[in-house]
Structure 1
Amino acid sequence: MSRLYLSADIRRAETIATVIGLAARCDPAEITTGQIAVAMGGRSVESTPDNAKDEQSGNA
């Protein structure tokens, strides 16, 4: 999947706007990175025992 290149400043601004939007609808302390990813049009990868092993071994 190709994606338009966005500068770090633009990505940061989009992330901040997304988090502010989420915070308006729910408790900011409960916002997860997965929710932010989904709200930005991405996908959330659930943590599974296999993912945890990969992260610990550096294969993630």
Structure 2
Amino acid sequence: MTIQVELIDGTLCRVVPKGLNLLLNRELVKRFKRSSGWAVVGRDPIRYSEKVNGYNGMERRKAA
């Protein structure tokens, strides 16, 4: 499955979901196509991947 994306420089491309997350985190996306229409970055709610953002708190797991 690919997602249609418009980059901040106006380029239109199609990317896989992981590629969209990467582009969003690098702040290169102007908008992308959802089933309900175009989602505009900075205007519409967007979920960011936790894996990319990571956890910034104290490590609480114990070593085995």
TM-score greater than 0.5 by the shorter chain: no
Q: Shorter-chain TM-score: what band?
A: under 0.3
The structure whose Rg is larger is 2
Relative to its length, the structure with more helix (as a share) is 1
TM-score by length of 1: 0.22
Q: Relative contact order (C-alpha < 8 Å, sep 6+): which is higher?
A: 2
